[in-house]
Chains A and B, each alone.
Chain A
């Protein structure tokens, strides 16, 4: 068995502009997904809006620079994730394809097991 991180990306402006009802439906869909895939789920969270993100970098002199916003500026921002366990990539894709991801999609990344 391997672990995969399923990263959920969405157009953050479209998400913020969405009606509250859409948010409620999305919540229900995630609950449903969680129930259907309980055996494979190892964790997961939703993230606060990308406007709350703070990025840290070091400049050429090694000084810490703190900036407002996501690490990379893109239309689609990371909005949440699931950690899943699956025997292979096909199985992982089959689970990830059920993750609700309106206004965006998901990325599947194998976890690198160290040591």
Chain B
């Protein structure tokens, strides 16, 4: 076996099998730290074993068997050291069907409401997606020390407060699932609109969010909001090529070259949305995906069915009333009924504390004013938006609008 091939196989296993192997090992150890060490150890052994005997047919199962064996050794050693009762040893054979549920358990543990959302997201990326601490740190623009401390605190809380490894009961599932979906959505939006710096899309985070949503959809196929989130990721991300133009500046939906949209991704998302809507779902992610799907169906900005979009926002406001949704609805209203109506819809949001430093409120108002020809007011609103926006690409777009208004 060539060294390069083994390295590639290991790298691939890190990306795709880490969560599977870790979840199966946590089942044996009951402790995340110990399980992580055992999994790391298994990956270490794989280097030599795969080089001499070739990459196994199912690398995930191979790694799980080795990691679990190591875990059992560690537990036996620990038990004899503390003279504790004999360890009940789980079967070493890996049945993939069983492990599917292990990953689901681990997702619900990572995204337990007793953990802060930033901790939930960090744990999910580290434990389920196999990102290293420094990768997770980079993704959220914090130092590696800060991220390491956050992960350690999170794992300590899981252990010491005994956050259980279990899938919630049916009656608590909707609420708990919503927390998981929010965490995955945050991974996606962080990747898609990086809050700072010049790189607008961080592909690895988007990919990880898609992977988590797909896994959850595979494990809970009947939960329509899971399908909704997966659809939303496919449909939104389908535009990523067109989102930044050749000079690296932000291209608005209205300006995007729609021939650069990923048609296969759109088809994937639309099929998921259609099924969820047909099942009668009005979950927030299904509706957000449905809105995105309406955009993806329009051949051009002018041909967008804005009334349909406003209608979907109206339903979304019923299931998930939030100032950000109201803001997006106002934008849709401005296209369905004109910028005047848009301004009217925005009026109630001016004093919304949640939007106090949210640059998109000022930039929406600026856009409506610009379209109405109120140049001075529009300029002031763009200035306000610029002061609140920290993403370089978004900032350069706002500056461009300001320059246009000066001519």
Contact = CB atoms under 8 A, between A and B. Distances in A.
Genuine A/B complex: yes
3 nearest CB pairs, A to B:
A88-B164, A88-B162, A110-B161
A53 interface: no
Nearest to A109: B161
Contact of B164 (A90, A110, A112): A90
Nearest to B160: A110
A interface majority secondary structure: mixed
B114 interface: yes
A112 B163 contact: no
Interface string A74-115: 000000000000011110110000000000000010101000
Contacts of B114: 89, 93
Which range holds the interface residue count of chain A?
A: 10 to 19
Given A87-B164, A89-B112, A110-B162, 14 more contacts: A2-B162, A87-B162, A88-B162, A88-B163, A89-B114, A89-B162, A89-B163, A89-B164, A90-B163, A90-B168, A92-B162, A93-B114, A110-B160, A110-B161
A40 to B, nearest CB: 14
A37 to B, nearest CB: 18
Interface of B: 112, 114, 160-164, 166, 168
Contacts of B164: 87-90
Contacts of B162: 2, 87-89, 92, 110
Nearest to B176: A90
Contacts of A110: 160-162
A2 B168 CA distance: 20
B interface majority secondary structure: loop
Contacts of B160: 110, 112
B153 to A, nearest CB: 14
A22 to B, nearest CB: 30
Contacts of A88: 162-164
A88 B159 CA distance: 10
23 contacts: A2-B162, A87-B162, A87-B164, A88-B162, A88-B163, A88-B164, A89-B112, A89-B114, A89-B161, A89-B162, A89-B163, A89-B164, A90-B163, A90-B164, A90-B166, A90-B168, A92-B162, A93-B114, A108-B161, A110-B160, A110-B161, A110-B162, A112-B160
Interface of A: 2, 87-90, 92-93, 108, 110, 112
Q: Quick one: which of B112, B114, B161, B166 has the most chain A CB within 10 A?
A: B161
B401 to A, nearest CB: 45
Nearest to A110: B161
Contacts of A108: 161
A90 B112 CA distance: 9
Nearest to A4: B161
Nearest to B172: A90
A100 to B, nearest CB: 21
A2 B112 CA distance: 18
Contacts of B112: 89
Nearest to B108: A90
A92 B164 CA distance: 11
Contacts of A90: 163-164, 166, 168
Nearest to A94: B172
Contacts of A112: 160
Nearest to B163: A89
A92 B161 CA distance: 10
A108 B113 CA distance: 13
B111 to A, nearest CB: 13
